[in-house]
Amino acid sequence: MVTFVDRVTLHLRAGKGGNGCVSVRREKFKPLAGPDGGNGGHGGDIVLVADPQVTTLLSYHHSPHRAAGNGGFGMGDNRSGAAGESLELAVPVGTVVKDAEGETLADLVVPGTRFVVAPGGQGGLGNAALANPKRKAPGFALLGTPGWEGDVLLELKTVADVALVGFPSAGKSSLIAAISAARPKIADYPFTTLHPNLGVVQAGDTRFTVADVPGLIEGASEGKGLGLEFLRHVERCTALVHVLDCATLEPGRDPLSDLDVIREELANYPVPEGQTPLLDRPQLVALNKVDVPEAKDLADLVRPDLEERGYRVFEISTVSHEGLRQLTFALGDIIAQHRVQVAESPAAERIVIRPKGAQKDFEIRVEGGTYGNVYRILGDKPLRWVQQTDFQNEEAVGFLADRLEKLGVEDELFRVGAVAGSTVVIGPGDGIVFDWHPSLSSAAELMTAPRGTDPRLDLNPRRTTSQRRERYHERMDAKAEARAELEAERLGVPDFSFDGEDDEQA
């Protein structure tokens, strides 16, 4: 049965924005009192919150699919749709958020940190919000945009000041139980500890946390045993304590060889850029189980060699508590000095926020195609505008053309060599494909047409009443002329029209 999970993939879907409403207010004696369509509600976000009360990602291991609420549709009488309900997911402090490609998005190391991992979709504007002095009664509304949907990887890296490293059954769990209030499972067989244990230690005026990192054996950095799964929990520690078993009965093992193996595995584990390598951090050595007479003799034998390597060595016993006070106070001094250095270090580099106007809102890529060049428009604004457009409404399509023209898309298409009839795609992949006609760049607000139509788009083959009336009069005039010719022939009225060839023969 799984009780501890420190890595999980979440499948997230943020809420979709609601569509705007097309409505015209009607009252007695005021059949067209103006547009009153409300806006659609925004979709709900998915937010990750660093919670100190959460210690594992187990709940997301069993339920990885999470979704936020959708926004409500706009309604008439200027009623806006309800916003979608946001979803907050509590994660342990020290959780690293990565995208599907492995790029780090956020590092939640401070309790209470909030990160919007999946933003909700934007609600569409109703026709009341789209009205202006030139377009007094829009016959269209904007659609809501879909929320973010995709996978993210959550990776837990324990936030502790000190890491206890060593071979299985070296006494790490017993040590953390002896110096803190933690009560991990302790047994006399290897790999008893299956997940990191945390304990809080008080040494004088200094309080710090200690993590027991299980499963380190030879080849752990290459995937052997459990070490590779838990070496990431050493990354955030300030100091390391090598717990060496002086009473082991396994052949070929002794404290010095165990230390060399663990050091090699720590050296082979790559830490993130900007962090201190594991072996460059303060390290202490704890010779454990000296309550056993043979272990005490072995500790006295190897201690000079360890001190010659530059280590501070402590002979301890988790049974008799021998040497534990000296070890905890030595660790407290290291942690206190580190905290002073961090407080005195210069402030982090200031983040420069550039105005959006300084960045280009779109780009056009020229791609070769079977029937000529294809011009692909990429950018957040054009893609969002396409998602908001109802392509069954001519006026909405004309509004999209006006927005693209005002953004400078028309001029950029001319610059890259597009001509009338060129294939243009908006968005990545299949996107929205259409034939480009520069004539669509004129302002639709100055044209008079029924609501929901745009005279620049000949998308509706049905003739208007005036066109049908004009066509009817043309047919009636043609019939009248035909009847007049027949009547003239019947009465024998000569036809004064002549042909040049007949005159020559005469």
For the annotated binding site for GTP, the residues are: 166-173, 191-195, 212-215, 288-291, 317-319
- The Cα–Cα gap between 457 and 140 comes to 15
378 burial via Cβ count (<10 Å: 0-12, 13-18, 19+):
middle
At 249, which amino acid appears? L
| DSSP category for residue 195 | S
C-alpha 33/C-alpha 28 separation (Å) is 10
Hunting for tokens 């190391």 — which residue is that? Answer: 109
Q: Which amino acid is at 13?
A: R
Question: DSSP character for 54?
Answer: -
Q: Which residues define the annotated binding site for Mg(2+)? A: 173, 193
What DSSP assignment string belongs to 282-310?
-EEEEEE-TTSHHHHHHHHHHHHHHHHTT
Q: What is the 3-state secondary structure (H, E, C) of 1-15?
A: CCCCCCEEEEEEECC
> Rounded CA gap, 445 and 135, in Å?
5
Q: Are the beta carbons of 393 and 424 closer than 8 angstroms?
A: no
Contact 211, 237 (CB under 8 A): yes
The binding site comprises 166-173, 191-195, 212-215, 288-291, 317-319
Helix (H, G, I), strand (E, B) or coil at 313: strand
Q: What gap in Å lies between CA 428 and CA 299, rounded to an integer?
A: 66
Please name which of 18, 15, 42 lies closest in space to residue 141, comparing C-alpha atoms.
Answer: 18
Are 20 and 81 spatial neighbours (Cβ–Cβ below 8 Å)?
A: no
What is the DSSP secondary-structure string of 439-503? GGGS-GGG----TT--TT-----PPPHHHHHHHHHHHHHHHHHHHHHHHHHHHT-------HHHH
What does the longest C-alpha to C-alpha distance in the chain come to? 149
Residue 145 CB partners (closer than 8 Å, separation 6+):
16, 17, 121, 122, 124, 384, 387, 388
Closest CA to 131 of 330, 395, 387: 395
User: How far from the centroid of its chain's Cα atoms is residue 271's Cα?
Assistant: 24
Number of H helices, E strands in the chain: 12, 18
Residues 257 and 294 sit within 8 Å (Cβ to Cβ): no
For strands 149-156 and 95-98, give the pairing: antiparallel
